[in-house]
Structure formats: C-alpha cells, structure tokens
Amino acid sequence: MQIDIAPTLALLFGVPIPKNNVGVLIREAFDSLKEDKHLRALELNSWQLLRLLQAQLSGLPCRNFPCDAFYDHQSSGSTDCNHETEDMLCCLYMEATTLYTSWKSKRGFESASNKDYRSTAAAYYKFLKSASEWLSRRSTDKPVKLLALGLATMFVSTVILSSLMFCRLRQIYHGGKQQSLNLNDSMNGWSLDETFILSVILILVSSMTSSSMVEEEHYIWYFLISTFYLLLLRKTAQSLCAVRFQSSFFTQNGQSREGYFRMCFVFLLLTSGRVLRGWHQGGVNWTSLPDISKWLEQAGSQHVKSLQLISAFLVISIGLFALFSIESKGKCFQMVRLSFLISGLLVLLHITKYQDYTFSSTDYGATLLVQIIYAILGVATIGTVVALPWVIPFSTSKICPTDNTISPLFLSIHEKFPLVELRDSLYVIGWAYVLCWCLLQLLLQQPVNTTPILLLLLQILAGTLYFARSGTHHKEWVEIAAFYYLGMAGHFALGNTNTLATIDVAGAFIGISSHSTLLSGILMFIITYASPMFILLSLVMYISMKNMAHLVIPEKAGPEDHLMMMLGFSCLVPLVINSILLTAYTVVLLLMQNHLFVWSVFSPKYLYVCATAVCTYIGVLIVAATGFYAYFVLVMRKQKPYSC
C-alpha cells in the first residue's frame, strides 16, 4: 500500500516517521538486515501506531494491561488475544514487547534461537497490521447517523422554504378576486422566462455530478445568463411590436418610449456581460488561452493603471451622482454625501499613490490610509442605515427618481403605512450599501479587476432600471432569481474558480497592521464573494425602485402584509435557490466519496458551496433587517411626527 512506503523509507534512512502515518514497514525491505536492527525498526513503527491509537482512544492502558502470559518468558508460543478492539490491540502490543524483551535478555546466550526472533517479529507484524487496519477504518469511517440527520435537515429546510415561496406566489398572484386591469395574461400561466429560470436549477444540479463540469462551471453560468438576456431582448421586442400595432388606434408614445429605454438596458446587459465573460479565462482546461486581463498585463503596467483609474473614477462618480441627485437638502443627506465623497477621494488617492498594477503597498502610510477609509465607510454606512429612517422628512415628494407616480392603491394606505418614506429610505440606504461595497472592492481587489467591478455595477443598474420599468412583463421572483444568477456569473468573471488556488490571499492583508486570522478571513471572504454579496446588497435598492402596484393584495391587508409584499421574494428566492443547490451537492458529494477526484474537485467545490450559503444568508439577513428596521422606525414616527 502507498501508506507503507513512508515508514519504510523513514526507517531505512534513519529519519522520523511522518506524524500521522498509519503504514506498516514493508517486510521484504528489512529481511536483509540484522535481527536486532530489524526488531528495532519494528519497535519504532509500533511506537508510532501506539501513539496514534492513544490519540484516538483516550486512556489506552497498554502499559498496565493484565495478562500473566506476557511475563512467562519460557512460553514459546503466542497468546490468544480474544478481547474487544481496544483490549485486543493492547494485548497484541504487550505480547510483542514482552517477546522482544525476552529476546534481548537471551541475546548472547545459547538459549537465544532463531525461533525466538521469528516469533517476536511475527508478533510485531500482527500488532502493526491490526493497528493499521483499525486506524485506517477509523479515519475513513463516516458517522452515518449524523450524515443522515444533516441531509434530512437540509431537505426539510429546502421543503419549508419552497413551501413558503409557493404560498407567497399563490397569495400574491392568485389570492384576490379582483386583479389589476393592466395585469398581463401571462401572470396566470407559465411564461418562457419562468420556465427558463427553473430550468437553470435543473441544469446546475445535473452538472454537479460531472467533475469536468464542476471544473468549468463558469461556462455554464456565462451561457445561462447570456441566454436570459436574450429572452429579455425577445420580450422587449415583442412588447414594442404590440405597442406599434396599437398605435394605429391609440396614442402609445409613452409606452413606446419606455420600451426603447428597456431595449437600451438589455443591450447594456448583453455588452457588459460579454466583456465580463472574456475578462478572465478560468477553469482548468483552457487557462492558457488569452483573455482581456492577460492582454492588459502583457501590454504593460501603465495600461492597467490607466484603466484602473478610469474605472474607479466612473464607479465613484456613478454612486455619488445617485446620492447627489436626491432633491432633499437636509443635514442628514448632506452628511451622507460628504462622507462618501471623502471616502471616494481617499480611495482614488490610495490607488494613485500606493497601488501597483499587481499588489498594494504595505508600508505604514498605506495601511493608515486604508484604515481611515474603513472607518469612514463603516460610520457612513451604518449611520445612514440607523439614522435615516429617524430623520427623513414626511412629505409627498419622493426621492426615488424612477417612481414618478404613486398608484391609487399606495395612496389609499398612505395614512396607515408610511410606504413613500419607506421606499425613499430604502433607496438611499441601498445606494449607501452599493457605494460602500464598490469602494471596498476598489481597495481590496487586484487592480486588473477594477473594470469588472464597474461592469457589475452597470449590470446591476441596467437590470434594476429594466425591471423597474417592465411593469407586469416579469414576475418579481423571476427578477430576483435573475439577479442571483447574475451574482454567480460575476463571481467567476472576477477570476474565481472552484479550486482553492485562485483565492486572493494577498488582498486579505490590506489595511491590517498586525496579523489577525479573523480580520484576514473576513477580508478574504469579502474579496472572494464580491459579486454575490454585491447583488444581495443591491436588492435593497431594487425594492425601493420596483413598482408593485399590479400585485393582488387582500382587501383586509395590514401594513405588515405590504411590508412582506416588498421583502418576501427578495428574501425567499435566494434562500430557496441556495438551499436546493446545497442539498443537491451534498448528495452528490456523498455519492462521489470514492471518486478519483473527490479531494481535488468535489471537496473544494463543496467548500465554495458552503461559503456561498453563508454569503447568501448574510446578505438576506441584511436585506430583511434593513427593511424591518426602517419600517418599524417610520411607524413609530408616524404615530408621533418628527423631522429634522
């Protein structure tokens, strides 16, 4: 066996046996040695396995094992060790050591014979074989009951989350007797985009059973997200054709203009998605092929630096433009704008002064500057989330620029449900989340990944604006699922793969003055899961911009029902998709436990799947906590009006 090679070579060369090796020295390699050297090698090998046995079986009393036969040095035969596993191993070890002690005491006398040597060696080999087999089984044995319990828990959680989402679907789309007049007929049946969204899950689950598909998973995501964009293009073109057909009878200029806007957003999604797809050549089989990042590196550091500065400037400009376009001039909004403006300028200063095209500087000035940026971003973001619902003024004017009219439904519940102020608060908080995350990525990501961050931001904005203007063309759960898929495609577009070798370890130490495993781990998580978390945080902004007036709401619905209408799908859809994929891949990993690539392909992929689950739950928790907190604060203020 392969494990036997290590102790054999170690004993032949006179070096220690590897600490956790459970092998047995190969008999044929020691037959030519003298008897004393052979038995000494067996003794050292036995000590190695005995130490491992004592680590596995605490308090193993081999030294005090009661067996009178071991002390009968005149006994020529071996004893019969018919005990339980622990006692049997002790019995075999004590028998071998006793025979070895007897052989050493007789050496040099005529009573010492070749028969004693053979019986001692046989006793040692018997112990070594038994101990090695037991340790090997112990290291590969799996707690079947615990695995079954964990898998059952995953399955039950998946069923519960799926049931909640289906109940939500039935309640919103089929729960009322009266439906909005502008509700598309496709809302009551399966449309092509809904079928495709569900098919994506089946495709992903099926691909998990192939090691090659796991290694090249990014191609699946690229293909699926591009196909979905083409479906959006097809649906937008169909809506434009329908508007043109109706224009001969009615005036449809406004609808036609909205259709052209949606068409531009789809083209922006397709273009940015194609550039992202070619930015990094990930996977295993085609890593040698050229991609955009390799071309930039070959072109020279100046090109990378220039593109990095342009992309960073555009990202910061887009975020600041969104914040400065808010009409309110209250002190709280001025503080939010000023904080992120300062953070953006400091990030540009860090990029210009300290970042090389391959890595960031680690001197004291760079570390101090990054720590200042961390502090300002943390205070600005948390302060915005906590303080904004308390100070946002109650008025009929709206902050969100995409929602120019309030539906009669929203106006009718405005007195008991602060929906307008809630949407305005979530709009500002959502942009604070997005801008904070972008600035963090500009600091932590490799310089060549700055442009993909810009492209991801453009895709998020284009997708949000498209869905905000689409009205009833798509169900909300389809839109949330599309955002989730976009996040996974962006995860691979940033250079990540399903192998642990692509994790950016260097960026995990930016801004840390002394070693901290916890802080470095958090930064590594932020870098690795930049795109999925980016998408989840942007859902706060999506919620504030999405017009949900077409949804069917029960007549006796309270404020909590309207809050759940806003947050329900944004929280449930990512959890359902993640639960299905996590449960499916757990089953796949159990089935592939004896696969040749279980440690090189399937196990690293499972680590990524578990980390993705953690990322999803954190993101959903942030979205839900933000929505509920803003809602309850505004309800409290509604009872006692207050403004800054």
As to burial, measured by CB atoms within 10 angstroms (0-12 exposed, 13-18 middle, 19+ buried), residue 425 is: buried
Q: Is the pLDDT of residue 124 over 50?
A: yes
Instruction: For 544-594, write each residue's pLDDT tens digit.
Output: 887 665 555 555 555 666 777 788 888 999 999 999 999 999 999 988 887
Question: Do 456 and 442 touch, CB atoms closer than 8 A?
Answer: no
Question: Do 99 and 115 touch, CB atoms closer than 8 A?
Answer: no
Spans of all domains in the chain: 1-65+86-104+113-140, 191-233+302-355+363-397+409-551+558-639
| The pLDDT of residue 201 | 92
Higher pLDDT pick, 615 / 182: 615
Instruction: Name residues whose C-beta falls within 8 Å of residue 76's C-beta, 6 or more positions apart in sequence.
Output: 115, 119
Q: Is 14 left (phi over 0), alpha (psi -120 to 50) or beta?
A: left
As to burial, measured by CB atoms within 10 angstroms (0-12 exposed, 13-18 middle, 19+ buried), residue 330 is: middle
| The pLDDT of residue 69 | 42
Q: Among the ranges 204-218, 357-371, 543-557, which has the highest mean pLDDT value?
A: 204-218
Q: Is the pLDDT of residue 342 over 90?
A: yes
Alpha-carbon distances of 220 from 192, 215, 438, 463, rounded to whole Å = 19, 11, 26, 20
Q: Is the dihedral of CA 551, 556, 559, 561 positive or negative?
A: negative
Provide the percentage of residues in the chain whose pLDDT is more than 70. Answer: 80
DSSP designation for 243: H
Instruction: Name residues whose C-beta falls within 8 Å of residue 588's C-beta, 6 or more positions apart in sequence.
Output: 208, 209, 602
Instruction: For 275-299, write each residue's pLDDT tens digit.
Output: 999 898 877 777 777 888 888 888 8
Instruction: Name residues whose C-beta falls within 8 Å of residue 572's C-beta, 6 or more positions apart in sequence.
Output: 161, 164, 165, 168, 477
Q: How far apart are CA 370 and CA 444, in angstroms?
A: 10
Higher pLDDT pick, 152 / 597: 152
Q: Is the pLDDT of residue 189 over 60?
A: no
Instruction: Name residues whose C-beta falls within 8 Å of residue 395's C-beta, 6 or more positions apart in sequence.
Output: none
Q: How far apart are CA 608 and CA 497, in angstroms?
A: 9
What mean pLDDT do residues 341-356 have? 89
What mean pLDDT do residues 201-230 have? 91
| The pLDDT of residue 259 | 73
Place 110 in a pLDDT band, splitting at 50, 70 and 90: low
Place 246 in a pLDDT band, splitting at 50, 70 and 90: low
Q: How far apart are CA 603 and CA 516, in angstroms?
A: 26
Q: How far apart are CA 216 and CA 289, in angstroms?
A: 14
HSE, side-chain direction, 13 A CA sphere, residue 327:
9
Structure tokens at 347: 């990030």
| The pLDDT of residue 566 | 81
Q: Is the pLDDT of residue 402 over 80?
A: no
Q: Is the pLDDT of residue 327 over 50?
A: yes
Q: Is 433 left (phi over 0), alpha (psi -120 to 50) or beta?
A: alpha
Higher pLDDT pick, 305 / 562: 305
Rounded to 5 degrees, what angle do the CA atoms 56, 58, 60 make? 100
> 501-508: which pairs have CB atoms within 8 A and are 24 or more residues apart?
502/282, 503/528, 504/444, 504/445, 504/446, 504/528, 506/359, 506/360, 507/360, 507/444, 507/445, 507/446, 508/444
Higher pLDDT pick, 142 / 344: 344
Question: Do 157 and 613 touch, CB atoms closer than 8 A?
Answer: no
List the alpha helices (DSSP H) in 208-249. 211-215, 217-246
Higher pLDDT pick, 501 / 415: 501
* 117 three-state secondary structure: helix
What mean pLDDT do residues 228-249 have? 75
Q: Is the pLDDT of residue 313 over 60?
A: yes
Q: Is the pLDDT of residue 372 over 90?
A: yes
Phi then psi dihedrals of residue 16, to 5 deg: -65, 150
Question: Do 636 and 591 touch, CB atoms closer than 8 A?
Answer: no
Closest CA to 617 of 518, 527, 543, 525: 525
Question: Do 44 and 8 touch, CB atoms closer than 8 A?
Answer: no
The least confident of 41-55, 267-281, 367-381, 543-557 is 543-557
pTM for the whole structure: 0.80
Provide the percentage of residues in the chain whose pLDDT is more than 90. Answer: 34
DSSP string, 273-307: HHHHHTT---SSTTTTS--HHHHHHHH-HHHHHHH
Q: How far is CA 420 from the centre of its chain?
A: 34
Q: How far apart are CA 595 and CA 583, in angstroms?
A: 19
| The pLDDT of residue 289 | 79
Higher pLDDT pick, 583 / 636: 583
Instruction: Name residues whose C-beta falls within 8 Å of residue 356's C-beta, 6 or more positions apart in sequence.
Output: 301, 447
Instruction: Name residues whose C-beta falls within 8 Å of residue 476's C-beta, 6 or more positions apart in sequence.
Output: 546, 548, 551, 569
| The pLDDT of residue 412 | 36
What mean pLDDT do residues 109-123 have? 77
Place 75 in a pLDDT band, splitting at 50, 70 and 90: very low
Q: Among the ranges 107-116, 233-242, 550-559, 584-593, which has the highest mean pLDDT value?
A: 584-593
| The pLDDT of residue 146 | 86
Angle between helices 301-324 and 419-444 (to 10 degrees): 160
Q: Is the pLDDT of residue 428 over 80?
A: yes
Q: How far apart are CA 538 and CA 437, in angstroms?
A: 10
Question: Do 304 and 448 touch, CB atoms closer than 8 A?
Answer: yes
What mean pLDDT do residues 438-456 have? 93
**Chain length of the chain:** 644
What mean pLDDT do residues 435-446 have? 93
DSSP designation for 393: P
Place 109 in a pLDDT band, splitting at 50, 70 and 90: low
| The pLDDT of residue 77 | 46
Average pLDDT of the residues of the chain: 81
Q: How far apart are CA 199 and CA 227, in angstroms?
A: 12
| The pLDDT of residue 271 | 93
| The pLDDT of residue 475 | 83
Instruction: For 519-536, write each residue's pLDDT tens digit.
Output: 999 999 999 999 999 999
The least confident of 1-5, 109-113, 220-224, 510-514 is 109-113
Alpha-carbon distances of 420 from 275, 398, 407, 415, 443, rounded to whole Å = 38, 7, 11, 10, 35
Q: Is the pLDDT of residue 38 over 80?
A: yes
